[in-house]
Amino acid sequence: MKNKKQVDNEGKPKHKGFRGVVRTIAKKSIAIFRNLKEPMVPRAFSSKLTNMTAPEGLELFFTTMAAQPQVYRQTLAVMMVHLRQIIAQEGSNSMCADALSELGDEFKVRTKFFAKLLNSPDIEWQKLVYNQTLRKSKICITIACHSLFDKVMEQARQAKESTQKDLATGVNEKPQVVTEYENNGEISGNSKREKDSLRKKARKFSVVKGKLYYVVNGKQREVIKHSDVEKTIEEAHIALSHHGRNAVVSPFELATGCKMIWPQDLDPKWAKEEDVELTEGEIDNFESIQEEVAMERLEKLTEIIEVRRMARENILAEQKKYKSRYNKMHNPQWFEVGEKVTMQNDRKRGRKGDVLACNRTYGDHIS
């Protein structure tokens, strides 16, 4: 016999509230993990955050591809399971832990590889995250490969040679390239020409407390007016964000320590609000021309809406272009164990002398 729904005095069904909803979410999530037969293991990792969708729940583990197929070793490549839905972040982990306890399941706390001490019992840092719910019975996997800096931090944490304060200080430190430039005026790179070019551009444009300054005739003035931005926006973007092949940073990175993301600049021609001059006769018969004046205002508002729509379409087109270019350069390849793939044979790379006869041959390989 099914349980009856709880109702209030007016006969309407009672709402579970946020805590009840989160517990229900956790129970459904656990059911998916229980029915899991085999965890899906990606065969490649990207240096960027990559999202993939799987039809079943996935077990959480630390892994990467080893030299031999079907053999995996523990590294700093972190897999994180997210159950997608818009739910408040606060307190959701503790509520999920309560739901796990009610079901009688044992759960382990797995600490992140950041500024946390070893074997920390803090549940906010556990890897198995139940703070978001299912979306169309699919789970989003976030894969993050840590940089060399994070690897050094992790080694220091495991060796217990650094305190929590030291680790937090190290995370907030500026990149070495910026520190060297501020202290010694040195810029990393191999080409003296590239370094001199960067220095000249950095002198012409500067960023102080988040404000862009443009040097003209030896005087420094802030770029705030739209007319000034029209003259310098393109030159400033190229000069501040671009860096050559040998120079590893841009002038903007030297000033702020992070890469430059420039906003889309718009110059819409707004409709001017002109005063309506009425004669004495028109004033007496204002009601008769009121509709005509209202239609003129409506046409001007329609022009503004059209300008906004065109500006939005231009922004979306630019975003699509940049996204397409980025995906072309950072396209991760995913393979499963036992999948047949075609590999390219480039044996002339890294070799001196004549080109081998078997250059660029293809063949089937079972991974």
Average pLDDT over the chain, rounded to whole? Answer: 52
Answer whether 82's CB lies under 8 Å from 140's CB. Answer: yes
Q: Helix or strand or coil: residue 340?
A: strand
Beta strands in the chain (DSSP E): 50-54, 62-65, 72-82, 139-144, 205-208, 211-216, 219-222, 340-345, 361-366
- Alpha-carbon distances, residue 289 vs 170, 285, 292, 303 (angstroms): 71, 7, 5, 22
Q: What is the pLDDT of residue 255?
A: 59
Q: Which of 38-52, 108-122, 147-161, 229-243 has the lowest mean pLDDT?
A: 38-52
Answer whether 84's CB lies under 8 Å from 92's CB. Answer: no
Note if the pTM is more than 0.85. Answer: no
Band (314; pLDDT cuts 50, 70, 90): confident
CA-CA distance, 142 to 45, in Å (whole number)? 11
Q: Which of 8-22, 223-237, 301-315 has the lowest mean pLDDT?
A: 8-22
Better-scored residue on pLDDT, 139 or 86: 139
CB burial string 194-222: b at 16+ within 10 A, e below: bbebbeebbebbbbeeeebebeeeeeeee
Dihedral angle computed from the Cα positions of residues 84, 315, 257 and 202, in that order, rounded to the nearest 10 degrees = 170
- Which range of 2-16, 134-148, 228-242, 285-299 scores highest in mean pLDDT? It is 285-299
Q: Does residue 6 have a pLDDT over 70? A: no
Percent of residues, the chain, with pLDDT higher than 70: 10
Better-scored residue on pLDDT, 313 or 169: 313
Q: Does residue 329 have a pLDDT over 60? A: yes
Answer whether 141's CB lies under 8 Å from 80's CB. Answer: yes
Q: Does residue 317 have a pLDDT over 50? A: yes
Average pLDDT over residues 358-362: 44
Q: Does residue 327 have a pLDDT over 70? A: yes
**Around 357, how many Cα atoms within 13 Å sit in the side-chain half-sphere?**
0
Helix pair angle (192-204, 226-241), 10° resolution:
160
CA-CA distance, 192 to 178, in Å (whole number)? 18
Q: What is the pLDDT of residue 101?
A: 54
Average pLDDT over residues 6-15: 52
Q: What is the pLDDT of residue 304?
A: 72
Q: Does residue 126 have a pLDDT over 50? A: no
